[in-house]
Amino acid sequence: MSLPCIKIYLSGSIRKGEEDARSDDHFWNDFDVEVVRNRIEASVEILNPAMTKIDRNDTRLNFGCDLYLVSISDLILVDLRKKKGIGVGAELMFADQMKIPTFGVLGSRSEYKRTTLTNLTGQNIQDWTHPFAEGLCDELCADVDAACDRINTFTRSSGIAAAYEEKSETSIRYFRDAAPEIVEQYD
């Protein structure tokens, strides 16, 4: 029996030229990719926009390329270990609209997960996860190994598509039901 083939889009930061002084741990690296290839119990095709050979002067081509790669992927693996930019959020929202499951890698010292967050608009929060990380990822994992384990769980049972849960519309409905007095202000 042959292994299923899974197309995995790597969402994360792309180095913005020689002037980009961020350390290597802000980006997907070869070790991460090898872990994904070796740990997932399927044939894996990595879709990495940073490795796509296109004209980087053409911003519309870049944008279209990234969205195309997201649209043909079976799942999104998003690097949330360090602070990310507008593109990652847009890719996650697009994946939700396309019904593509997303697995977030938070790491132990992420900008998107904190033990304590002091004075978030007047509230002190314990065990905080960024609302858009939690809201747009079907699974949040501590590291790449844990993400691979969760992916394997789905590929062994019901298939990777079963990992997807509708997030945007469900969250809007939840807000409307939980905070009708606020909704009323805007209606």
Residue 23 has a pLDDT of 86
Q: What is d(CA 77, CA 8) in angstroms, rounded to the nearest whole number?
A: 7
Cα–Cα distance measured from residue 167 to residue 94, given in angstroms and rounded to the nearest whole number: 11
| Domain 5-186 = CATH 3.40.50.450 | yes
Which pLDDT score, from 0 to 100, does residue 107 have? 81
Single-letter amino acid, residue 43: S
pLDDT at 1: 58
Tens of each residue's pLDDT in the chain, 187 residues:
567 899 999 999 988 888 989 888 888 999 999 999 999 999 999 999 888 999 999 999 999 999 999 999 999 999 999 999 999 999 999 999 999 999 999 987 788 999 888 988 999 999 999 999 999 999 999 999 999 999 999 999 888 999 999 999 999 999 999 999 999 999 8
Residue linked to tokens 């690097």: 79
CA distance 125 to 123: 6
Main-chain dihedrals φ then ψ at residue 72, nearest 5 degrees: -100, 0
Q: In the prediction, which pLDDT does 111 show?
A: 87
Q: What per-residue confidence (pLDDT) applies to 91?
A: 97
Tokens 């990495």: give the residue.
48
DSSP character at residue 68:
H
Question: Residue 177 has what pLDDT?
Answer: 96
- What are the boundaries of each domain within the chain? 5-186
Task: Provide the whole-model pTM.
Answer: 0.92
CA distance 77 to 13: 12
For residue 131, what pLDDT is reported?
Answer: 94
